[in-house]
Amino acid sequence: MHVVPAGDRWAVEAEGSHGRDTFDTQEEAVAAGTERAQQKKVELLIHGRDGRIRERNSYGNDPRDIRG
């Protein structure tokens, strides 16, 4: 699940999906993306205006064996 800039708005996109939902603020998009990522047990990637990933959160089976 990705939160990405969409013009002057923000979008939530599912990886491999063609559709996306847009929101007025990044905060709204992150909240919606977090809810969806938790439901689907997937990772949420939050991108900045420059398109680079600035934060990631995993809500599912994390393939890495990391403590903490």
Across 2-23, average pLDDT: 92
Whether the predicted pLDDT of 66 surpasses 90: no
Q: Is 28 exposed, middle or buried (0-12, 13-18, 19+ CB in 10 A)?
A: middle
Question: Rounded mean pLDDT of the chain?
Answer: 90
| Contact assessment for residue 33 and residue 11, using Cβ atoms and an 8 Å cutoff | no
Q: What percentage of the chain exceeds 90 in pLDDT?
A: 78
Give the residues across from 2 on adjacent strands: 13, 45
Across 19-41, average pLDDT: 95
Q: What percentage of the chain exceeds 70 in pLDDT?
A: 88
* CA 41 distance to own-chain centroid: 12
pLDDT of 17: 77
| Contact assessment for residue 36 and residue 14, using Cβ atoms and an 8 Å cutoff | yes
| Contact assessment for residue 60 and residue 43, using Cβ atoms and an 8 Å cutoff | yes
